[in-house]
Amino acid sequence: MTTENSRPVVVLTHRVHDELLDLLGRECDVVSNQTEESLSAKELRRRAADADALMAFMPDRIDAAFLDGCPRLRIVAGALKGYDNIDVGACTARGVWLTRVEDALTEPTAELALGLLVGLARNIGPGDRRLRDGLSGWRPALYGRTLIGSTIGIVGAGAVGRAVARLLVGFSARVVYSDPNPVPAADAELLGLEQVPLEELLRTSDAVVVCAPLLPETTHLLDRVALASMPAGAMLVNVGRGSVVHEEAVAEQLRSGRLGGYAADVFEFEDLSRAHRPDGPHPELVDCTDRTLLTPHLGSAVADSRLAIEERAARSILQALAGCVPDGSVNDPHGLTVSGGSPAI
């Protein structure tokens, strides 16, 4: 769509920094959502019906039916890394570019993963609550465990998994990983990474950090059988995608006392690519405050990183509207040479 003054229309589905409104507003008419809430599906369809470009975020579901209602759309710029909530094939079939921002979230997500792991191991959440409830002084309670010298398994050795491994170097831990794509030998040696089958990783790790994206082959990768194979008292941290872990199975393992703790920044209900998903975080995980540490997708909640992500998504919009191949392209809707694709597990 172009407006009366021939300016393209860009729809932003979620709140962005003011700098982005200024950047896009120089060349486009911007339809923004500067609230903390997602637009309803109906309202988003209404706003996008005549849009030339759309900046989408993780809570959005962009499928064939949605795209059919946006006949003028030329690009969906994802302000995200994993794009399982966007139908790539449907975009390509309709001549719509899909872009993502690949690496701006890597370090912040890895940093949070380590924070969750330490918080879980050292009972930081329960300790905070105990002090606020009234602490009369030191008592021999809330004994946790140290990560130093432990065995830590990383499921998914893509950019985030390797960043987690880098942060673990100072813990003198044995770090093993499972991924169908081996880490280059030089990087593995530098990070002290050892590739093992998933079954061995689960069976031998004191703590497991999930960094895998959501793909058909990773959905409920850590199911009842997998979780039951972990050592008694082992800890599990998920910063990949919620549905890589079967939350009901996690709740069962916590209930039985076999799983030592679970920390997560991602949840099954967030995975819009799944037709049948929960309505919210599993209630038993929410209620189990002594052995869980749950955060509301804080892996990407770093102001500078978010601004960088939004700026890169905005640049890809401006490039596509100018007739260029946009940076971060996932697909090739016009038969051009494009680098991109799903992140490695």
Catalytic annotation, residues? 241, 270, 297
- Cα separation values, 107 from 77, 161, 288, Å: 21, 10, 29
Sign of CA dihedral 265, 270, 273, 276: positive
What's the rounded Cα separation, in Å, for the pair 112 and 257?
25
Tokens linked to 242: 């919620």
Question: DSSP code of 85?
Answer: T
Q: Which of 243, 184, 176, 247 is nearest to 209 (CA)?
A: 176
Q: Are 123 and 219 in contact (CB under 8 A)?
A: no
Helix intervals (H) in the chain: 18-25, 41-48, 64-68, 88-93, 106-121, 124-132, 159-168, 185-191, 198-204, 224-228, 247-256, 283-287, 303-321
If 0-12 CB within 10 Å is exposed, 13-18 middle and 19+ buried, where does residue 28 land?
A: buried
* Cβ contacts of 135-138, under 8 Å, gap ≥ 24: none
CA 144 to chain centre: 28
What phi-psi label fits residue 290: left (phi over 0), alpha (psi between -120 and 50 degrees) or beta?
Answer: alpha
Question: DSSP code of 122?
Answer: T
Instruction: List, in sequence order, every residue forming a beta bridge with 207; answer none if it has no partner.
Output: 152, 235
Give the list of residues 6+ apart from residue 338 with CB closer than 8 angstroms, or none. 325, 329, 330, 331, 332
Lay out the sheet containing 75-78: strands in order across.
29-31, 9-12, 53-56, 75-78, 97-99
